[in-house]
Amino acid sequence: MGPATRYFTQTTPFSLTRGGELPQVTLAWESWGTLNESKSNAILVFTGLSASAHAASQPNDPSQGWWEGMIGPNLAIDTHRFFVVCVNSLGSCLGSTGPESINPKSGRPWRLSFPEITIDDIARAAQLVIDDLGIDTLYGLVGPSMGGMTALAWLKAFPKKTQRVALISTACSSAPFALSIRSVQREAIVTDRNFQDGQYNEDNWPEVGMRLARKLGMITYRSAREWDARFGRKRQDYFPQQAFGMRFEVESYLETHARKFVGQFDPCAYLYLSRAMDTFDACDSDESLIQLFTRSFTGHALVLGVDSDILFPAHQQQTLAGALESSGSEVSFEILNSAKGHDAFLVDSKLFETPIRSWLA
């Protein structure tokens, strides 16, 4: 929601997969590069759970984006060639319609009265922006983490409307380990005394629950291997010593991340998107994953994972690559060696540049 963010609003109802509808939807988005005359050079980027549409800096918003260094002139996703669009997810709190938005019927934030949304809804909502731009077929679709799930849902809803798809550190559904982590994160939020069934306010913010959720998130976004080398058992002296407080550097690291996150992300948005990730399942629907790809995609797919990722482990990307191959697509598949775990696509993004550049060549 910086100076480069634009907004598309559909004022007619938006129907939801699980029933019900939103009377109107707004999508926050940003773009980089120029749409060519034939409108054939667009790349749509979906985001992880907590990211905004600001994927990279640009002249009218020089602040760092969440995928800085990946999108820009002469970068892996080269904005001399491509018109890149990133859309903040439906259900989020960073410009797009979500539980923190005002329900036009009540004049108050939706909070827990917001209808259940799915990854499929997020994909269809982002497409409203693409439709509004008059783009019929994408050059490419890129999705890391939850964004990869959104890319799968998009393929399902809009078959053969992209020539290339990149599925990064993602899966066709969440494994029980990821389900269990997110379940505990949500429980920490809804049991916070300030959560009050969603009736929190600035003075009574469910900070305790959001802190715990974020810390647990960070633990699963990184890896034990990284932390052995990075923190070991080094003591911390940054935060004051308290009873059962922080003694080790790894604790002050988590604390710093938690403090940053608490004010930035709406608790209800977190709950809705977290649940959407849990219930998404492209592997166990009416059509098999191979059938889904056969029906929806003919082109060049890129599947990337990281060997130290515990949230979306490498065997899940192997499954995606295998199904894509069986469907007859051209597939580039690589499990990258990085200690940075699930977050490698963000914090070790150099590793991802060469495969993404080749895939777009």
Binding a copy of itself (rule: CB under 8 A), the pick from 21, 132, 136, 187 is 187
**In the bound complex, what is the minimum distance in angstroms from residue 168's beta carbon to a copy of itself?**
20
Paired with 78 in beta bridges are: 72
According to DSSP H, which parts of the chain are helical? 119-132, 146-157, 176-190, 207-221, 224-230, 249-262, 267-279, 289-296, 314-326, 344-347, 350-360
Position 188 contacts a copy of itself (CB under 8 A) = yes
Position 61 contacts a copy of itself (CB under 8 A) = no
**In the bound complex, what is the minimum distance in angstroms from residue 166's beta carbon to a copy of itself?**
25
Q: State both tokens at 166.
A: 């990149």
Which window, 12-20, 70-78, 226-234, 348-356, contacts a copy of itself (CB under 8 A)? 226-234
Position 310 contacts a copy of itself (CB under 8 A) = yes
Binding a copy of itself (rule: CB under 8 A), the pick from 175, 290, 314, 351 is 175
Position 111 contacts a copy of itself (CB under 8 A) = no
8 Å CB contact between 231 and 248: yes
Position 160 contacts a copy of itself (CB under 8 A) = no
Is 105 exposed, middle or buried (CB count within 10 Å of its CB: 0-12, 13-18, 19+)?
exposed
Cα separations (Å) of 36 from 29, 41, 138, 156, 279? 19, 6, 12, 26, 38
Q: How many residues bind a copy of itself (CB under 8 A)?
A: 47
Q: Per the residue annotation, which of 50, 57, 96, 145 is the catalytic one?
A: 145
Closer of 129 and 212 to a copy of itself (Cβ): 212
Position 281 contacts a copy of itself (CB under 8 A) = yes
Beta-strand relationship, 77-78 and 25-32: unpaired
Binding a copy of itself (rule: CB under 8 A), the pick from 81, 103, 163, 278 is 278
Q: Per the residue annotation, which of 120, 266, 309, 348 is the catalytic one?
A: 309
Please tell me the distance from the alpha carbon of residue 228 to that of residue 237, in angstroms, as a whole number.
Answer: 19
Q: Per the residue annotation, which of 296, 342, 343, 348 is the catalytic one?
A: 342
8 Å CB contact between 155 and 162: yes
Q: Would the CA dihedral through 121, 159, 140, 36 be positive or negative?
A: negative
Please tell me the distance from the alpha carbon of residue 116 to that of residue 36, in angstroms, as a whole number.
Answer: 37
Position 271 contacts a copy of itself (CB under 8 A) = yes
Residue owning tokens 């939850």: 146
309 is catalytic: yes
Paired with 8 in beta bridges are: 27
**In the bound complex, what is the minimum distance in angstroms from residue 230's beta carbon to a copy of itself?**
8
Q: Mind telling me the catalytic residues?
A: 145, 309, 342
Residues that bind a copy of itself (CB under 8 A): 112, 173-177, 179-181, 183-184, 186-188, 190-191, 193, 208, 211-212, 215-216, 219, 224, 227-228, 230-233, 243-244, 246-251, 254, 271, 275, 278-279, 281, 284, 310, 313
